[in-house]
Amino acid sequence: MGDSAHLVEFSMALLQSWRWYGPNDTVSLDDIEQAGATGIVHALHHVPVGEVWEVKDIQARQQLIEEKEENETERNLKWVVVESLNVHESIKKGLGERDELIEKYIISLKNLAKSGIKIVCYNFMPVLDWTRTSLDFRYKDGSKALRFDSIALAAFDLCILNRKKAESDYSESMIDEAKSLFETLSHNDIELLTNNILQGVPGSGGVLSIYEFKTYLDSYRGISKIELRSNLDYFLQRVIPEAEKIGIKLCCHPDDPPFDIFGLPRIVSTEEDLNLLVNSIKSPSNGITICTGSLGPNPENNITKIIDRFGKNIHFIHLRNIQREGNGSFHESDHLDGSVDMHSVMEALVKESIRREGEGREDFQIPFRPDHGHQMLDDLDKEILFHGYSAIGRLRGLAELRGLELGIRKSIEIGCN
Protein backbone atom coordinates (compact mmCIF):
# COMPACT_ATOMS: atom_id res chain seq x y z
CA MET A 1 0.00 0.00 0.00
CA GLY A 2 1.32 3.45 -0.86
CA ASP A 3 1.73 6.25 1.66
CA SER A 4 -1.46 8.33 1.69
CA ALA A 5 0.68 11.43 2.20
CA HIS A 6 1.86 11.08 -1.39
CA LEU A 7 -1.65 11.07 -2.86
CA VAL A 8 -2.38 14.02 -5.14
CA GLU A 9 -5.63 15.92 -4.60
CA PHE A 10 -7.53 16.38 -7.86
CA SER A 11 -10.24 18.94 -8.51
CA MET A 12 -12.95 18.55 -11.11
CA ALA A 13 -12.76 20.84 -14.11
CA LEU A 14 -16.50 21.07 -14.69
CA LEU A 15 -19.36 21.94 -12.35
CA GLN A 16 -21.72 18.96 -12.22
CA SER A 17 -25.23 20.25 -12.78
CA TRP A 18 -28.76 18.99 -13.36
CA ARG A 19 -31.81 20.45 -15.07
CA TRP A 20 -34.77 20.79 -12.72
CA TYR A 21 -38.23 21.78 -13.95
CA GLY A 22 -39.57 23.04 -10.64
CA PRO A 23 -41.95 21.84 -7.95
CA ASN A 24 -43.95 19.71 -10.42
CA ASP A 25 -40.86 17.83 -11.60
CA THR A 26 -41.07 14.15 -10.70
CA VAL A 27 -37.31 14.24 -10.07
CA SER A 28 -36.99 16.01 -6.73
CA LEU A 29 -34.23 18.20 -5.38
CA ASP A 30 -33.40 15.42 -2.90
CA ASP A 31 -32.97 13.06 -5.87
CA ILE A 32 -30.64 15.52 -7.56
CA GLU A 33 -28.56 15.97 -4.44
CA GLN A 34 -28.20 12.19 -4.11
CA ALA A 35 -27.10 11.98 -7.75
CA GLY A 36 -24.06 14.08 -6.83
CA ALA A 37 -24.88 17.21 -8.80
CA THR A 38 -24.40 20.55 -7.04
CA GLY A 39 -25.48 23.04 -9.71
CA ILE A 40 -29.14 23.48 -10.63
CA VAL A 41 -30.16 24.50 -14.14
CA HIS A 42 -33.61 26.02 -13.98
CA ALA A 43 -36.08 28.59 -15.31
CA LEU A 44 -39.25 30.29 -14.11
CA HIS A 45 -41.42 28.29 -16.48
CA HIS A 46 -44.64 29.82 -15.12
CA VAL A 47 -43.69 33.31 -16.33
CA PRO A 48 -44.98 33.90 -19.90
CA VAL A 49 -42.34 34.46 -22.57
CA GLY A 50 -41.66 38.18 -22.86
CA GLU A 51 -42.64 39.09 -19.30
CA VAL A 52 -40.19 40.28 -16.64
CA TRP A 53 -38.74 37.85 -14.12
CA GLU A 54 -39.21 39.67 -10.82
CA VAL A 55 -36.59 39.55 -8.05
CA LYS A 56 -39.07 38.17 -5.51
CA ASP A 57 -39.93 35.25 -7.80
CA ILE A 58 -36.28 34.51 -8.57
CA GLN A 59 -35.25 34.58 -4.92
CA ALA A 60 -38.24 32.52 -3.78
CA ARG A 61 -37.17 29.81 -6.21
CA GLN A 62 -33.55 30.12 -5.03
CA GLN A 63 -34.65 29.57 -1.45
CA LEU A 64 -36.65 26.50 -2.48
CA ILE A 65 -33.60 25.07 -4.26
CA GLU A 66 -31.02 25.81 -1.60
CA GLU A 67 -32.88 25.15 1.66
CA LYS A 68 -34.63 22.06 3.01
CA GLU A 69 -38.04 22.97 4.36
CA GLU A 70 -38.22 20.48 7.21
CA ASN A 71 -35.18 21.72 9.13
CA GLU A 72 -34.17 24.82 7.13
CA THR A 73 -30.65 23.48 6.66
CA GLU A 74 -28.86 24.42 3.47
CA ARG A 75 -28.78 21.96 0.61
CA ASN A 76 -25.58 21.33 -1.27
CA LEU A 77 -27.33 22.82 -4.31
CA LYS A 78 -27.18 26.20 -5.99
CA TRP A 79 -29.08 27.67 -8.92
CA VAL A 80 -26.16 28.37 -11.28
CA VAL A 81 -27.63 28.52 -14.80
CA VAL A 82 -30.88 29.84 -16.22
CA GLU A 83 -32.17 27.65 -19.03
CA SER A 84 -33.95 29.29 -20.64
CA LEU A 85 -34.84 32.96 -20.50
CA ASN A 86 -36.68 32.57 -23.78
CA VAL A 87 -36.44 35.15 -26.54
CA HIS A 88 -39.88 36.27 -27.72
CA GLU A 89 -40.88 35.36 -31.27
CA SER A 90 -41.46 39.05 -32.05
CA ILE A 91 -37.75 39.70 -31.40
CA LYS A 92 -36.80 36.84 -33.71
CA LYS A 93 -39.12 38.20 -36.41
CA GLY A 94 -38.01 41.81 -35.94
CA LEU A 95 -41.51 43.16 -35.25
CA GLY A 96 -42.32 46.62 -33.94
CA GLU A 97 -42.71 45.59 -30.30
CA ARG A 98 -39.23 44.06 -30.14
CA ASP A 99 -37.64 47.11 -28.44
CA GLU A 100 -40.11 46.92 -25.57
CA LEU A 101 -39.57 43.16 -25.27
CA ILE A 102 -35.77 43.56 -25.33
CA GLU A 103 -36.04 46.12 -22.53
CA LYS A 104 -38.03 43.63 -20.47
CA TYR A 105 -35.39 41.00 -21.22
CA ILE A 106 -32.67 43.33 -19.90
CA ILE A 107 -34.68 44.00 -16.73
CA SER A 108 -34.93 40.24 -16.16
CA LEU A 109 -31.16 39.94 -16.60
CA LYS A 110 -30.61 42.70 -14.05
CA ASN A 111 -32.92 40.96 -11.59
CA LEU A 112 -31.03 37.70 -12.06
CA ALA A 113 -27.72 39.50 -11.47
CA LYS A 114 -29.11 41.04 -8.26
CA SER A 115 -29.88 37.50 -7.14
CA GLY A 116 -26.38 36.23 -7.95
CA ILE A 117 -27.26 34.16 -11.03
CA LYS A 118 -24.81 35.02 -13.80
CA ILE A 119 -25.20 32.45 -16.63
CA VAL A 120 -28.21 32.61 -18.96
CA CYS A 121 -28.79 30.12 -21.77
CA TYR A 122 -31.13 31.07 -24.63
CA ASN A 123 -31.77 30.04 -28.21
CA PHE A 124 -32.83 31.77 -31.43
CA MET A 125 -34.70 28.93 -33.11
CA PRO A 126 -37.93 29.99 -34.83
CA VAL A 127 -41.08 28.42 -33.36
CA LEU A 128 -39.64 25.04 -32.29
CA ASP A 129 -36.73 24.75 -29.88
CA TRP A 130 -36.32 20.97 -30.36
CA THR A 131 -37.88 18.42 -32.66
CA ARG A 132 -38.22 14.64 -32.39
CA THR A 133 -40.47 12.21 -34.23
CA SER A 134 -40.38 9.50 -31.54
CA LEU A 135 -40.28 9.95 -27.77
CA ASP A 136 -40.16 6.24 -26.90
CA PHE A 137 -37.77 4.72 -29.42
CA ARG A 138 -36.63 1.30 -28.20
CA TYR A 139 -32.88 1.43 -27.72
CA LYS A 140 -30.79 -1.71 -28.20
CA ASP A 141 -30.75 -2.49 -24.47
CA GLY A 142 -34.53 -2.17 -24.08
CA SER A 143 -34.57 1.33 -22.62
CA LYS A 144 -36.48 4.16 -24.29
CA ALA A 145 -34.82 7.03 -26.13
CA LEU A 146 -35.68 10.05 -28.27
CA ARG A 147 -35.34 9.76 -32.05
CA PHE A 148 -35.47 12.01 -35.10
CA ASP A 149 -36.52 10.20 -38.28
CA SER A 150 -36.10 12.45 -41.32
CA ILE A 151 -38.54 10.37 -43.40
CA ALA A 152 -41.21 10.52 -40.68
CA LEU A 153 -40.72 14.28 -40.43
CA ALA A 154 -41.10 14.60 -44.22
CA ALA A 155 -44.26 12.46 -44.09
CA PHE A 156 -45.71 14.79 -41.47
CA ASP A 157 -44.70 17.89 -43.43
CA LEU A 158 -45.94 16.66 -46.81
CA CYS A 159 -49.00 14.56 -45.94
CA ILE A 160 -50.30 15.73 -42.54
CA LEU A 161 -49.31 19.38 -42.31
CA ASN A 162 -49.63 19.79 -46.10
CA ARG A 163 -47.28 22.77 -45.99
CA LYS A 164 -47.19 24.83 -49.16
CA LYS A 165 -44.09 24.29 -51.31
CA ALA A 166 -42.81 21.66 -48.86
CA GLU A 167 -41.74 19.35 -51.70
CA SER A 168 -39.01 21.81 -52.70
CA ASP A 169 -37.23 21.01 -49.41
CA TYR A 170 -36.85 17.29 -50.09
CA SER A 171 -35.23 15.08 -52.70
CA GLU A 172 -37.42 12.94 -54.93
CA SER A 173 -36.35 9.79 -53.12
CA MET A 174 -37.24 11.27 -49.72
CA ILE A 175 -40.63 12.36 -51.04
CA ASP A 176 -41.33 8.85 -52.31
CA GLU A 177 -40.23 7.26 -49.01
CA ALA A 178 -42.26 9.76 -46.98
CA LYS A 179 -45.43 9.16 -48.98
CA SER A 180 -44.94 5.39 -48.76
CA LEU A 181 -44.51 5.65 -44.98
CA PHE A 182 -47.63 7.79 -44.65
CA GLU A 183 -49.68 5.14 -46.42
CA THR A 184 -48.80 2.67 -43.64
CA LEU A 185 -49.80 4.96 -40.75
CA SER A 186 -52.99 4.39 -38.82
CA HIS A 187 -55.06 7.25 -37.39
CA ASN A 188 -53.42 6.67 -34.00
CA ASP A 189 -49.95 6.67 -35.61
CA ILE A 190 -50.68 10.00 -37.27
CA GLU A 191 -51.93 11.51 -34.02
CA LEU A 192 -48.86 10.27 -32.12
CA LEU A 193 -46.41 11.56 -34.72
CA THR A 194 -48.16 14.94 -34.74
CA ASN A 195 -48.09 15.23 -30.96
CA ASN A 196 -44.43 14.22 -30.81
CA ILE A 197 -43.35 16.86 -33.31
CA LEU A 198 -45.48 19.71 -31.95
CA GLN A 199 -44.26 19.48 -28.35
CA GLY A 200 -41.13 21.57 -28.78
CA VAL A 201 -42.81 24.97 -28.70
CA PRO A 202 -41.49 27.20 -25.89
CA GLY A 203 -44.16 28.95 -23.87
CA SER A 204 -47.02 27.13 -25.60
CA GLY A 205 -48.14 25.31 -22.46
CA GLY A 206 -48.77 22.11 -24.40
CA VAL A 207 -48.98 20.57 -27.84
CA LEU A 208 -49.98 22.89 -30.67
CA SER A 209 -52.78 22.07 -33.05
CA ILE A 210 -52.04 21.79 -36.77
CA TYR A 211 -53.87 25.10 -37.32
CA GLU A 212 -51.84 26.87 -34.61
CA PHE A 213 -48.59 25.48 -35.99
CA LYS A 214 -49.44 26.62 -39.51
CA THR A 215 -50.16 30.08 -38.13
CA TYR A 216 -46.72 30.16 -36.52
CA LEU A 217 -45.09 29.03 -39.76
CA ASP A 218 -46.99 31.61 -41.81
CA SER A 219 -45.72 34.36 -39.52
CA TYR A 220 -42.16 33.51 -40.62
CA ARG A 221 -42.96 33.51 -44.34
CA GLY A 222 -40.40 35.62 -46.18
CA ILE A 223 -37.90 35.71 -43.28
CA SER A 224 -34.60 34.44 -44.64
CA LYS A 225 -31.48 33.30 -42.82
CA ILE A 226 -29.96 36.70 -43.53
CA GLU A 227 -32.90 38.51 -41.96
CA LEU A 228 -33.07 36.17 -38.97
CA ARG A 229 -29.35 36.64 -38.36
CA SER A 230 -29.85 40.40 -38.61
CA ASN A 231 -32.55 40.16 -35.95
CA LEU A 232 -30.22 38.15 -33.72
CA ASP A 233 -27.52 40.80 -34.19
CA TYR A 234 -30.05 43.51 -33.29
CA PHE A 235 -30.92 41.63 -30.09
CA LEU A 236 -27.28 41.08 -29.13
CA GLN A 237 -26.18 44.64 -29.86
CA ARG A 238 -28.70 45.89 -27.30
CA VAL A 239 -28.55 43.14 -24.69
CA ILE A 240 -24.85 42.22 -24.49
CA PRO A 241 -23.49 45.65 -23.38
CA GLU A 242 -26.02 45.69 -20.55
CA ALA A 243 -25.21 42.09 -19.63
CA GLU A 244 -21.50 42.90 -19.53
CA LYS A 245 -22.11 45.80 -17.13
CA ILE A 246 -23.80 43.50 -14.61
CA GLY A 247 -21.56 40.45 -15.10
CA ILE A 248 -24.14 38.26 -16.85
CA LYS A 249 -22.88 35.77 -19.43
CA LEU A 250 -25.33 34.84 -22.16
CA CYS A 251 -24.79 31.60 -24.06
CA CYS A 252 -26.71 30.74 -27.20
CA HIS A 253 -27.82 27.12 -27.57
CA PRO A 254 -27.32 25.52 -31.01
CA ASP A 255 -30.27 24.57 -33.21
CA ASP A 256 -31.79 21.16 -32.55
CA PRO A 257 -31.58 19.48 -35.03
CA PRO A 258 -28.87 21.53 -36.77
CA PHE A 259 -30.59 21.99 -40.12
CA ASP A 260 -33.61 23.76 -41.59
CA ILE A 261 -37.02 22.18 -41.00
CA PHE A 262 -40.53 23.17 -42.12
CA GLY A 263 -39.08 25.96 -44.21
CA LEU A 264 -37.85 27.72 -41.07
CA PRO A 265 -34.33 29.15 -41.22
CA ARG A 266 -31.71 27.98 -38.72
CA ILE A 267 -28.69 30.18 -38.00
CA VAL A 268 -26.87 28.48 -35.07
CA SER A 269 -26.13 25.08 -36.60
CA THR A 270 -22.51 25.09 -37.78
CA GLU A 271 -19.04 26.20 -36.76
CA GLU A 272 -19.33 29.18 -39.10
CA ASP A 273 -22.67 30.12 -37.54
CA LEU A 274 -21.02 30.14 -34.10
CA ASN A 275 -18.18 32.24 -35.47
CA LEU A 276 -20.62 34.85 -36.79
CA LEU A 277 -22.45 34.86 -33.47
CA VAL A 278 -19.47 35.45 -31.18
CA ASN A 279 -18.03 38.06 -33.53
CA SER A 280 -21.30 39.96 -33.96
CA ILE A 281 -20.37 41.80 -30.76
CA LYS A 282 -17.12 40.89 -29.07
CA SER A 283 -17.67 40.65 -25.34
CA PRO A 284 -17.07 38.12 -22.56
CA SER A 285 -20.84 38.21 -22.10
CA ASN A 286 -21.55 37.00 -25.65
CA GLY A 287 -20.99 33.27 -25.55
CA ILE A 288 -22.29 29.87 -26.55
CA THR A 289 -23.69 26.72 -25.02
CA ILE A 290 -21.89 23.66 -26.31
CA CYS A 291 -24.52 20.99 -26.90
CA THR A 292 -23.00 17.81 -28.29
CA GLY A 293 -26.43 16.35 -29.00
CA SER A 294 -27.54 19.34 -31.06
CA LEU A 295 -24.32 19.85 -33.03
CA GLY A 296 -23.66 16.11 -33.38
CA PRO A 297 -26.30 15.14 -35.98
CA ASN A 298 -24.40 17.17 -38.59
CA PRO A 299 -21.30 15.06 -39.40
CA GLU A 300 -19.51 18.20 -40.61
CA ASN A 301 -19.52 19.60 -37.08
CA ASN A 302 -16.21 18.64 -35.46
CA ILE A 303 -17.21 19.39 -31.89
CA THR A 304 -13.69 19.02 -30.47
CA LYS A 305 -12.43 21.52 -33.02
CA ILE A 306 -15.31 23.85 -32.17
CA ILE A 307 -14.37 23.70 -28.46
CA ASP A 308 -10.73 24.40 -29.27
CA ARG A 309 -11.71 27.38 -31.44
CA PHE A 310 -14.35 28.96 -29.21
CA GLY A 311 -13.16 27.78 -25.80
CA LYS A 312 -13.08 31.23 -24.22
CA ASN A 313 -16.69 31.83 -25.33
CA ILE A 314 -18.14 28.64 -23.77
CA HIS A 315 -20.22 29.40 -20.67
CA PHE A 316 -22.35 26.26 -20.39
CA ILE A 317 -22.23 22.66 -21.63
CA HIS A 318 -24.81 19.99 -22.53
CA LEU A 319 -23.31 16.53 -22.88
CA ARG A 320 -25.28 13.77 -24.60
CA ASN A 321 -24.57 11.48 -27.49
CA ILE A 322 -26.43 10.63 -30.66
CA GLN A 323 -26.13 7.87 -33.20
CA ARG A 324 -26.40 9.09 -36.77
CA GLU A 325 -28.48 6.79 -38.96
CA GLY A 326 -27.90 8.51 -42.30
CA ASN A 327 -30.01 10.94 -44.31
CA GLY A 328 -30.30 13.27 -41.30
CA SER A 329 -31.92 10.71 -39.00
CA PHE A 330 -30.49 9.99 -35.54
CA HIS A 331 -31.38 8.64 -32.13
CA GLU A 332 -30.05 9.49 -28.71
CA SER A 333 -27.55 6.86 -27.59
CA ASP A 334 -25.67 6.23 -24.34
CA HIS A 335 -23.60 9.20 -23.24
CA LEU A 336 -20.29 7.48 -24.02
CA ASP A 337 -21.45 5.49 -27.04
CA GLY A 338 -22.42 7.10 -30.33
CA SER A 339 -21.29 9.29 -33.21
CA VAL A 340 -19.82 11.96 -30.92
CA ASP A 341 -16.31 11.21 -29.64
CA MET A 342 -17.11 12.04 -26.02
CA HIS A 343 -13.58 11.31 -24.82
CA SER A 344 -12.13 13.87 -27.22
CA VAL A 345 -14.85 16.38 -26.33
CA MET A 346 -14.27 15.96 -22.59
CA GLU A 347 -10.50 16.23 -22.99
CA ALA A 348 -10.91 19.52 -24.86
CA LEU A 349 -13.23 20.86 -22.16
CA VAL A 350 -10.89 19.84 -19.33
CA LYS A 351 -7.97 21.53 -21.11
CA GLU A 352 -10.06 24.69 -21.53
CA SER A 353 -10.84 24.66 -17.80
CA ILE A 354 -7.14 24.23 -16.95
CA ARG A 355 -6.23 27.07 -19.33
CA ARG A 356 -8.74 29.38 -17.66
CA GLU A 357 -7.54 28.45 -14.20
CA GLY A 358 -3.98 29.25 -15.27
CA GLU A 359 -5.13 32.67 -16.47
CA GLY A 360 -6.82 33.35 -13.14
CA ARG A 361 -10.34 33.35 -14.61
CA GLU A 362 -13.06 32.90 -12.01
CA ASP A 363 -15.21 30.92 -14.44
CA PHE A 364 -12.76 28.04 -14.90
CA GLN A 365 -15.22 25.49 -13.51
CA ILE A 366 -17.70 25.46 -16.42
CA PRO A 367 -21.18 24.15 -15.58
CA PHE A 368 -22.26 21.06 -17.49
CA ARG A 369 -25.25 18.81 -17.25
CA PRO A 370 -25.94 15.31 -18.55
CA ASP A 371 -28.36 16.21 -21.31
CA HIS A 372 -31.30 13.85 -21.62
CA GLY A 373 -31.11 10.23 -20.59
CA HIS A 374 -32.80 7.00 -21.48
CA GLN A 375 -35.96 5.92 -19.71
CA MET A 376 -34.77 2.76 -18.02
CA LEU A 377 -35.13 0.38 -15.06
CA ASP A 378 -37.89 1.53 -12.66
CA ASP A 379 -38.50 4.66 -14.73
CA LEU A 380 -39.95 2.50 -17.52
CA ASP A 381 -43.06 2.06 -15.37
CA LYS A 382 -43.42 5.77 -14.57
CA GLU A 383 -45.09 8.61 -16.41
CA ILE A 384 -42.35 10.97 -17.56
CA LEU A 385 -43.58 14.56 -17.70
CA PHE A 386 -40.52 15.92 -19.47
CA HIS A 387 -39.28 13.62 -22.19
CA GLY A 388 -35.57 12.88 -21.96
CA TYR A 389 -35.49 14.00 -18.33
CA SER A 390 -36.15 10.86 -16.32
CA ALA A 391 -33.93 10.34 -13.28
CA ILE A 392 -32.08 7.07 -13.75
CA GLY A 393 -30.88 7.63 -17.33
CA ARG A 394 -29.43 11.01 -16.41
CA LEU A 395 -27.93 9.57 -13.22
CA ARG A 396 -26.13 6.99 -15.36
CA GLY A 397 -25.00 9.69 -17.77
CA LEU A 398 -23.71 11.93 -14.97
CA ALA A 399 -21.80 9.03 -13.40
CA GLU A 400 -20.19 8.07 -16.71
CA LEU A 401 -19.25 11.65 -17.56
CA ARG A 402 -17.95 12.28 -14.04
CA GLY A 403 -15.67 9.26 -14.30
CA LEU A 404 -14.50 10.22 -17.79
CA GLU A 405 -13.66 13.73 -16.66
CA LEU A 406 -11.81 12.58 -13.55
CA GLY A 407 -9.72 10.09 -15.53
CA ILE A 408 -8.76 12.71 -18.11
CA ARG A 409 -8.01 15.32 -15.45
CA LYS A 410 -5.80 12.92 -13.53
CA SER A 411 -3.87 11.86 -16.61
CA ILE A 412 -3.25 15.49 -17.56
CA GLU A 413 -2.21 16.59 -14.07
CA ILE A 414 0.04 13.58 -13.51
CA GLY A 415 1.65 14.22 -16.88
CA CYS A 416 2.43 17.78 -15.82
CA ASN A 417 4.12 16.73 -12.57
Please give the positions annotated as active site.
253, 291, 318, 371-372, 389
Sheet holding 329-333: strands in order across? 134-138, 144-148, 329-333, 321-326
SS3 category, 215: helix
For residue 302, give the DSSP letter. -
Surface-to-core class of residue 232, CB atoms within 10 Å of its CB (0-12 exposed, 13-18 middle, 19+ buried): buried
CA angle 295, 297, 300 (to 5 degrees): 75
* CB contact burial 281-304 (16+ within 10 A = b; e otherwise): bebebbbbbbbbbbbbbbeebebb
Q: Residue 414: exposed, middle, or buried by beta-carbon count in 10 A (0-12, 13-18, 19+)?
A: exposed
Question: Cβ atoms within 10 A of the Cβ of 191, count?
Answer: 12
* Residue 252 CB neighbours (<10 A): 26
